[in-house]
Amino acid sequence: MAQDTPKDNAGFTLPAPVSAPASAPPAAAGAATTATTEPAPALDAAGTTDTSSRDTLVGGVVLLLLFIAFFFAKNAYANGLVAKRVPPNKANASGWWLFIFLASLATGVVLAAVNAHKFLAPLFMGPLVLVGLVALLLTFTSSRR
C-alpha cells in the first residue's frame, strides 16, 4: 500500500503518476506529452487571442519613434508655410493639425498590427478615423491667408 500511494510531508496521499497505456505506440505517447506542455494562448471575451506584452511594447516603441519623426515633419511643414508668406501663427497651427493627423493615422496602423482582431473594431477605429479626418481638414484650411 505504501508503494502505490506515496505521501507528502503532511501525510496526504499524492495521486499516482499518469503513464501511457502499454498498448499505445511510443510515437503517440511522445506526441501526447508535447501537446500538453505547450501553453494554450489566452482568449479574451470575444474568443480572440490576447495581445502579448512583447507585442504591445514593440508597438509602443514604434509609435513613440513615429511621433518623434512626425514632430520634425510638423516643424518642417510649418517652416515651409512661413517661407510661402503664411503668417507664423497660422503655419504653426497647420503644422500641429498635420501632427495630429499623422499621429492618429499611425496609431490606427500600429494598433491594427499589434492585434487586428481586437483593435480594428469600430469602438477603437471610429474615434481615430474621426480625429484624423478633422485634423486633415483643418491642416489645409488653417494655413489659408
Q: Answer whether 97's CB lies under 8 Å from 138's CB.
A: yes
Instruction: Collect the ranges in the chain with pLDDT lower than 50.
Output: none
Write down the pLDDT at residue 97: 95
Write down the pLDDT at residue 101: 96
pLDDT digits (tens, 9 = 90+) for 91-119: 999 999 999 999 999 999 999 999 888 88
Distances (CA, A) of 21 to 25, 27, 29, 35, 137: 9, 12, 9, 17, 70
Write down the pLDDT at residue 25: 60
